[in-house]
Structure 1
Amino acid sequence: MPPEHNAGAEHMLVSMLRPLVERGHDVSVWLSRYGRAREAYDYRGVRVVPLEARLDFATAVRKADVLISHLECVPSTAALARGYGRPMVVVCHNTHQQTFRNMAAGGTALAVYNSQWMRAEAELFFAEYPKGVRPGREMIVRPPVFAEEYATKPGKAITLINCNEAKGGYVLEQLARRMPEQQFLAVRGAYGEQILPNLPNVEIVGHVRGEDMRQQVYARTKVLLMPSSYESWGRVGVEAMASGIPVVAHPTPGLAESLGEAGIFVDRNDVDGYEAVLRKLLTAPEYRLASKRATARSGELNPSSELSAWCDDVEALAR
């Protein structure tokens, strides 16, 4: 299961693998890109094998009961799965055509979509292909967020996580200039050119590991910004809502589905609109109402039932 170094994708995959470990399965992740680690290590019960370890992935495939892959690793994993006659699960994190093309190459026993709208997009894609290339089974597992792992007392800052252009770094910069009395938090992302304003009311935080987000980010955040040009779901928004933190977001299909009625939606090109919404939201009555909606939405997104169904389907493939 070699994942790409994409923070949201990695969090989703690890969150899906943990329940399999809890059911007593031997789970290993084989990394596909170079990093600092050179020896295999354990992460929450999952054995992680770095590319630098130079161990034989093909041998691991031969011994496996089920293969799980995603992103750019799907074609190579699919080839090995076909060669060794192993069932393969493809976890889909986005609606890009290449994601669906890789999955449609044949041999996908189970496709996992992270949202209803992604499944609908897959239906449109497969409508032009013969039924033989469709996955054997399909299911939806929304990126699992266990609220108790993120819940904390909100802080005072307006926060953007990953400050590249696509995530809305320029929106944060313009808002910080317009609202000099307000504290902002700019969290450096793992990818993309970062827009990090050099302003007295903007604190820049280095890249934060998932397990440290509660203390280093959400405990300091009053409102989360998500003016993203594209989000297939929007995991950090769900993480923030576990603490009752309101989320002001661009209405991508993924964010509209994940945030639901708790989301406060403003077009990413309407900075005036963002400023007006934030100034209103930062008043006590409006904030209490928005926070209450966020907490309620977090409860609706409890992942337990979907993860149970996920484990059942993977175990069925193994049998």
Structure 2
Amino acid sequence: MPPEHNAGAEHMLVSMLRPLVERGHDVQVWLSRYGKAHRAYEYRGIQVVPLQARLDFGTAARRADVLLSHLECVPSTAALARGYGKPLVVVCHNTHRPSLRDVAAGQTALAVYNSLWMEREAELFFAEYPKAIRPAESLIVRPPVFAGEYATRPGKAVTLINCNREKGGRVLEQLARRMPDAQFLAVKGAYGEQILPALPNVEIVEHVDGAEMRERVYARTRVLLMPSSYESWGRAGVEALASGIPVVAHPTPGLTESLADGGIFVDRNDIDGYEAVLRRLLGSAAEYRLVSKRAKARSAELDPAAELAAWCDAIEQL
């Protein structure tokens, strides 16, 4: 949970819980891992209970109206939901088979998919495993990005957020070596071994709370790199679109859906291609304006208001 752990899944959850708080609901997040915080705290109106602060999650689950879970916590939460007769909501962040099996274990009242392609993958899973139990209801909520909280004037650097190998740490390193006159930002991620080049044109940025991304990252970014081997959606790219920052990405199904016409797609193994695109964007003001305009237009298309209203309605119906 932010501000200690800042990854796409966690910030998607925060942006889905905030409107429930605004509707007057009592929203609590109980952490399943040991962290730095030793006392309960509040994050954007959400009550956060660290693992070491309280040991009575079972009591909280028994008193709850709805239990919500995601990632590796789904099986244990499902057991409590079954034991206490509570509706279970599962937020699905990826298409990996273990995630889909957890959704199909028979307790899910509402499955939330983060993209159309994930919903299609879930349908293929249910067709492949006819004994799997479909959720009672399902809903698509694309990771909500409130554009006004991220929009800024773009900066000068080429940026990668989360510099592990699968996110493109090696791509950043190779590009920085090829382009010594360009500025690069390497933002440490929430997980994975970080590849942080010790080069004069690469500045290392420590792990950043989502609430500080606009000032500490996007206000300094000219182009965002997303050469990820896998992205079920790609929240960072959508955050960058709000400022009209061009996003150069590997064409995963999630990124092609999220960025659409607002992105530039280059295979992550084509370093020559990435270099050519960067030199074009950094060297041509006219080309940059054109791509930036498309990015802002895509950001406007992804206004989350309608999907968040449907999400809150679904929770209240449960």
Q: TM-score, structure 2 length as denominator?
A: 0.97
- Equivalent in the alignment of 1:234: 234
- Equivalent in the alignment of 2:301: 300
- Equivalent in the alignment of 1:291: 292
Query: Is the CA contact 1:187–1:206 (under 8 Å) kept in the aligned structure 2?
Result: yes
Deviation at 1:140, TM superposition (A): 0.3
Deviation at 1:38, TM superposition (A): 1.2
Q: TM-score, structure 1 length as denominator?
A: 0.97
Question: Aligned ranges for residues 232-271 of structure 1 at < 5 Å?
Answer: 232-271=232-271
Structure-2 separation of matches of 1:85 and 1:219: 48
- Equivalent in the alignment of 1:162: 162
Deviation at 1:41, TM superposition (A): 1.2
Structure-2 separation of matches of 1:43 and 1:6: 12
- Equivalent in the alignment of 1:276: 276
* Structure 1: runs of 5+ lacking an equivalent: none
The ranges of structure 1 where at least 4 consecutive aligned residues each deviate by more than 6 angstroms after the TM superposition are: none
Structure-1 separation of matches of 2:45 and 2:27: 8
Deviation at 1:55, TM superposition (A): 3.1
- Equivalent in the alignment of 2:25: 25
Structure-2 separation of matches of 1:191 and 1:59: 31
- Equivalent in the alignment of 2:86: 86
Query: Is the CA contact 2:6–2:209 (under 8 Å) kept in the aligned structure 1?
Result: no
Query: Is the CA contact 1:5–1:33 (under 8 Å) kept in the aligned structure 2?
Result: no
* Structure 2: runs of 5+ lacking an equivalent: none
Structure-2 separation of matches of 1:156 and 1:272: 21
Query: Is the CA contact 2:74–2:102 (under 8 Å) kept in the aligned structure 1?
Result: yes
Structure-1 separation of matches of 2:132 and 2:266: 42
Deviation at 1:128, TM superposition (A): 2.8
Question: Aligned ranges for residues 93-104 of structure 1 at < 5 Å?
Answer: 93-104=93-104
Deviation at 1:6, TM superposition (A): 6.2
- Equivalent in the alignment of 2:140: 140
Asked if 1:225 corresponds to 2:225, the answer is: yes
Deviation at 1:131, TM superposition (A): 6.9
Q: Counterpart of 2:290 in structure 1: which amino acid? A: L
Q: Counterpart of 1:36 in structure 2: which amino acid? A: K
Question: Aligned ranges for residues 188-227 of structure 1 at < 5 Å?
Answer: 188-227=188-227
Query: Is the CA contact 1:81–1:88 (under 8 Å) kept in the aligned structure 2?
Result: yes
Structure-2 separation of matches of 1:299 and 1:94: 24
Query: How many residues are paired up?
Result: 315
The C-alpha deviation readout for 1:159-183, integer Å capped at 9, x for no partner, is 0001110000111111111111111
The C-alpha deviation readout for 1:1-24, integer Å capped at 9, x for no partner, is 9xx956111100010000000000
- Equivalent in the alignment of 1:312: 313
Deviation at 1:154, TM superposition (A): 0.4
Task: Indicate the percent of aligned positions where both proteins have the same amino acid.
Answer: 79
Deviation at 1:243, TM superposition (A): 0.4
Structure-1 separation of matches of 2:209 and 2:278: 27
Q: Counterpart of 1:196 in structure 2: which amino acid? A: L
Query: Is the CA contact 1:160–1:226 (under 8 Å) kept in the aligned structure 2?
Result: yes
